Structure 1
Amino acid sequence: MRSVRHLLEAKAPEVFAIGPDAPVIDAIRLMAEKHIGALLVIEGGRLAGIVSERDYARKVVLQGRSSASTPVREIMTAEVLSVGLDDTTDRCMQLVTSKRIRHLPVVADGEVLGVVSIGDLVKAVIEDQQLELDQLQRYIAS
């Protein structure tokens, strides 16, 4: 079973973040530029929250607020679920499924090391299943 450490080793080490006082429009522009659905919100070097396209749609668009004058702080999710390097893909899948979220920051000793998305998890599960199928086919054929 793969760990979060293995998932992070297999992907680009970039972590995209924004400050809590930045205008929401800056967050949306950065997400669009990087083709991602969420940004970590970092304040003073620490994880302060996460802001997603879903937050934008529900807390700005539907409420008729201004993207230019609303700070990220007002729409971000402050209670962020995170995982550690030794957590398993199974545990991560349980979290994203039960909490209906798509991104899990990876944190160790208060430092953000990366982000695991539901796409990363699905890819890992598919690769693990393919490996197991290949092994079973070799066993049956021998």
Structure 2
Amino acid sequence: MQIVRNLVEGKTEIFSIRPEQPVLAAIQMMADKFVGALLVMKDGELLGIVSERDYARKVILKGRSSAETPVREIMTSQVLSVGPGDTVHRCMRLMTDKHIRHLPVVDGGKVVGMLSIGDLVKAVIDDQAEQLEQLQRYIAG
């Protein structure tokens, strides 16, 4: 089973937005970067996370203005995070239990990456493919 460190090594960018920026800027950045969530950060400190789900539920359904509502008003401020030594299995369990799709990776108080459910599913598929190949070699062996 892979650990988080292996998954974030290949990810070079961490997409974030400041809490005072308008929700419209967050949605535009998510669309431009092809991501479903952004970290909300100020001066390197993780303050929250904002997702497409937050936008749909806290802006669209409530008739608020995307251009006038600051990100801080819709972000999730109690952010669950994992560390580089955590396993993919633990991350998947956390996402499943808490009904979330994104997890920041924090090491020594510093954000070092972000994982999506897609990253974790890919890791599990890759692990299973490798195990299958090893079994086939063993059987043929």
Report the TM-score range of the alignment, normalised by the length of the smaller protein: over 0.9
Over 6 Å off, 4+ runs: none
Aligned to 1:8: 8
Aligned to 1:29: 28
Say if 2:80 and 2:104, in contact at 8 Å, map to a contact too.
yes
With normalisation by structure 2, the TM-score equals: 0.98
Identity, % of aligned positions: 65
Say if 2:11 and 2:113, in contact at 8 Å, map to a contact too.
no
Aligned to 1:91: 90
- In the TM superposition, residue 8 of structure 1 has moved relative to its aligned partner by 0.9
- In the TM superposition, residue 110 of structure 1 has moved relative to its aligned partner by 1.2
Instruction: State the alpha-carbon separation in 1 of the partners of residues 11 and 45 from structure 2.
Output: 21
- 1:109-128 maps to which residues of 2 (within 5 A)? 109-128=108-127
* CA root-mean-square deviation: 0.7
Gaps of 5+ in 1: none
Instruction: State the alpha-carbon separation in 2 of the partners of residues 18 and 6 from structure 1.
Output: 25
With normalisation by structure 1, the TM-score equals: 0.97
Instruction: State the alpha-carbon separation in 2 of the partners of residues 134 and 108 from structure 1.
Output: 34
Number of residue pairs aligned between Structure 1 and Structure 2: 141
Aligned to 2:2, what secondary structure does the other structure show? coil
Aligned to 1:131: 130
Cα distance per residue 1:5-43 (max 9 Å; x no partner): 00112x331000000010000000000000100000002
